[in-house]
Amino acid sequence: MDFASVSSNLLYGAFIAYLIATFFFGGAIRDKKSAHKANKWPVFGITVTVIGFIAQVGYFITRWIAAGHAPVSNLFEFTTFFGMMLVGAFIVIYFIYKLSVLGLFALPIALLIIAYASMFPTEISPLIPALQTNWLHIHVTTAAAGEAILAISFVAGLIYLIKSIDQTYRSKKTFWLEVILYTLISTIGFIIMTTSFHLANYEASFNWINKEEQKEEMVYHLPPLVGPHEGELTADNGFEPLVTMPAIINAKKLNTVLWSLLSGLVLYWAIRLLVRKRIAAALQPLVKQVNSELLDEIGYRSVTIGFPVFTLGALIFAMIWAQLAWTRFWGWDPKEVWALITWLFYAAFLHLRLSKGWHGEKSAWLAVGGFAIIMFNLVAVNLVIAGLHSYA
């Protein structure tokens, strides 16, 4: 049996199931006229979500068999696992609180994460020596699970802010809420741009000098807005980079991030022109009947569960692995630094919540800020900043 092919089909099936479930949860948003009728949409939504989750677990198991190791060793594998854990965390929270609107927002975010992952190389490759240890599986899977649980607090916080922030006038709150939605839309822009240039078979190559002063080749699949350190374009594609980056920056991946932000900006304003209002204002009617206190509780509970899991995976288990792989528990690698920043942020979240009484909107903003740090760690630190974790 071709387990690699089976795993790909299962992941695709899970993606379709999550997409269908999103529409079911959308149908569960009742209006006042139908509030007295039995609502079957949430049952359909959670059933299809569970089916999709089982399919994605099947993807994980079959890819593990095909690879011979836990499929969390590159950016595609880690990000798809992160998306799977996010859906798993949502399923558990849903059965506790039975809040359909959570699925309407959590599943699209999981879909964006899985689609984002699929834009990176999906080939199964052998592990480098530093990764050939069971602590890789323990550290990475636990860290991803912790981040996924923490991401549910972001979903609850985002819904809370969309509901509570007054959209009748412009303010700092409406601005920052739109920035959050723009970053989500930028993921869609990334998928569109990457797919478009892939279909066009676009390619540009550079000879450049890495931080060890060695000459290497770097191949771009998007037009180079930024070029590598001392890069020389070896293929005439009619597009010279606007600026070159220092050797510590991965110029190719920074270029991908810049294209994502630019395409996201175009897509964001296209949506704004279509709905003729701020996107948060367009979404507000979907969440107007949600219990704000329930959202606040879900956000807090997600952090109280996710924080210790993240502590185990991203700090304690990570340090054990680092000692085995690099003979030191801590080395101030960029990934290590941002894991610590993430931990400190959520520790501050719990302190402010318990000691200072930061509930409601303040707590929601903190949950959103924490997820922004998680995504910066996933995207910018993995893609742009060179370090020991750059294999991801």
What are φ and ψ of residue 235, in 5° steps? -125, 130
In percent, the amount of the chain with pLDDT more than 70 equals 91
pLDDT in tens, 175-187: 999 999 998 898 8
Tell me how many domains the chain contains.
2
In a domain, 182, yes or no: no
26 and 141 co-located in one domain: yes
In a domain, 132, yes or no: yes
Strand 204-209 and strand 232-233: the pairing is antiparallel
134 and 193 co-located in one domain: no
Domain end position, chosen among 276, 296, 313: 276
In a domain, 181, yes or no: no
63 and 138 co-located in one domain: yes
Which domain covers residue 210, as residue numbers? Answer: 188-276
Q: What is the mean pLDDT of residues 280-287?
A: 91
pLDDT at 1 over 80: no
In a domain, 295, yes or no: yes
62 and 193 co-located in one domain: no
358 and 374 co-located in one domain: yes
Instruction: Give the count of alpha carbons within 13 A of 95, CB side only.
Output: 9
40 and 155 co-located in one domain: yes
Q: In whole numbers, what is the pLDDT of the chain averaged over residues?
A: 86
> Rounded to two decimals, what is the model's pTM?
0.86
Domain end position, chosen among 234, 260, 276: 276
pLDDT in tens, 44-99: 999 999 999 999 999 999 998 988 888 888 888 889 999 999 999 999 999 999 89
Domain end position, chosen among 276, 298, 317: 276
119 and 60 co-located in one domain: yes
In a domain, 389, yes or no: no
**Cα–Cα dist 214/216, whole Å:** 6
pLDDT at 36 over 60: no
pLDDT in tens, 137-152: 888 899 999 999 999 9
pLDDT in tens, 289-343: 889 999 999 999 999 999 999 999 888 888 888 787 667 777 777 778 888 999 9
Side chain identity, residue 239: F
Q: What is the mean pLDDT of residues 200-220?
A: 81
In a domain, 322, yes or no: yes
259 and 299 co-located in one domain: no
Question: Who's near 271: CB < 8 A, 6+ residues apart?
Answer: 185, 279
Burial zone of 206 (CB within 10 Å; 0-12 exposed, 13-18 middle, 19+ buried): buried
60 and 9 co-located in one domain: yes
248 and 350 co-located in one domain: no
Residue 33: pLDDT band by 50, 70, 90 thresholds? very low
pLDDT value of residue 238? 61
Alpha-helical segments (H) within 200-276:
251-275
In percent, the amount of the chain with pLDDT more than 90 equals 44
153 and 75 co-located in one domain: yes
267 and 323 co-located in one domain: no
**At which residue do the structure tokens 């991965």 appear?**
250
In a domain, 264, yes or no: yes
pLDDT in tens, 166-176: 998 899 999 99
